[in-house]
Amino acid sequence: MTKADGLIVKGVGGLYAVRTPNDTFSCGARGIFRKRGIIPLIGDRVGMQITDEIKKTGTIHEIYGRTNELARPRAANVDQAIVVMSVARPAWNAGLLDRYLTLAELAGIGSVAVCANKSDLAEDETVSGLLDPYLTAGYETYATSAESGAGVEALRTCMADKLSLFAGPSGAGKTSLLNMLSPSAPRETGGISEKNGRGKHTTRHAELIDIFPSGLCADTPGFSMLDIEDLSVSQLAATYREIGRIAAGCRFANCRHETESECAVKRNVGISIHPARYESYLRLIEGRA
Ligand code: ZN
């Protein structure tokens, strides 16, 4: 039997689409994975045995090492998370955006970007003001409009050759952006999140969408906010990357970076930490041990 390596681009109920340089094979997975509790994920690089060259079928016999593994959405080897928030309709929600960033940092995704979408609905200055705290924190930022096309090419460039993930609330315009970035047939706007709201559909179905001219994007609804609730103050501080950097050098053990006047974090607010992000951090640690 012929062996080949490929990438899982789709998974539906135990069947996987594995892409090789020239073909896509429909594959089951060896029983040993289930016995060991290992589930093949979209984004996995795998070794397969081709069972039928004509029908393009095979069996996944090996899953290669993962750089990261996301529980929700179920995906592996995600290079980049792009958190999308609309500047209006629905209104920009900085607290929610920060929660998505915390989840992206927790997931161990190396590169994280912030995208202000529907930028045509606000003045340029307003959009810059919204993105400023994230620029200060060291995130890559993008202002885009699927309506006017502004900023879409810059986003396309940042997605080239990477496996990206769009995260963000429904209504932020993720699907409209994806439709502009992808050569595949346009999909129904708002369809992803609506289906997911019902529960069953997207949990069993995960897919990577091609970005033109290169790159892939996970077609998933994004993270679950539940994971934030169990975090301690120090874990949360570490996910605010500009606070985490400074917190390591704070002289007070178990500091909440909240009240101590000599706290290194407090002293950096307005310098390397934007006041808006510090306030967002304080709101999130409220009542936490
Ligand atoms: Zn401190």
* pLDDT, mean of residues 279-283: 97
**Angle, CA 157 vertex, CA 182 and CA 171 arms, to 5°:** 55
Confidence of residue 17 (pLDDT cuts 50, 70, 90): very high
- In this structure, whether the domain defined by 2-65 belongs to CATH 1.10.260.40 is answered with no
How far is ligand 1, taken at its centre, from the CA of residue 95, in Å? 21
The alpha carbon of 272 and the centre of ligand 1 are apart by a number of angstroms equal to 14
Domain ranges of the chain: 2-65, 70-219, 233-285
> Is the pTM here over 0.95, yes or no?
no
Q: How far is CA 280 from the centre of its chain?
A: 20
Looking at the domain that runs over 70-219, which CATH code has it been given?
3.40.50.300
Distance between CA atoms of residues 216 and 212, nearest Å: 9
Q: How many CB atoms lie within 10 A of CB 214?
A: 11
How close is the Cα of 83 to the center of ligand 1, in Å?
A: 28
The whole-number pLDDT of residue 289 equals: 81
233-285 to CATH, choices 1.10.3720.10, 3.30.870.10, 3.90.1310.10, 1.10.40.50: 1.10.40.50
Same fold, 2-65 and 233-285: no
pLDDT digits (tens, 9 = 90+) for 21-74: 999 999 999 999 989 999 999 999 999 999 999 999 999 999 999 999 988 778
pLDDT band at 159 (very low <50, low <70, confident <90, very high): very high
- 64 CA to centre of ligand 1 in angstroms: 41
Distance, CA 138 to ligand 1 centroid (Å)? 20
Does residue 145 have a pLDDT over 90? yes
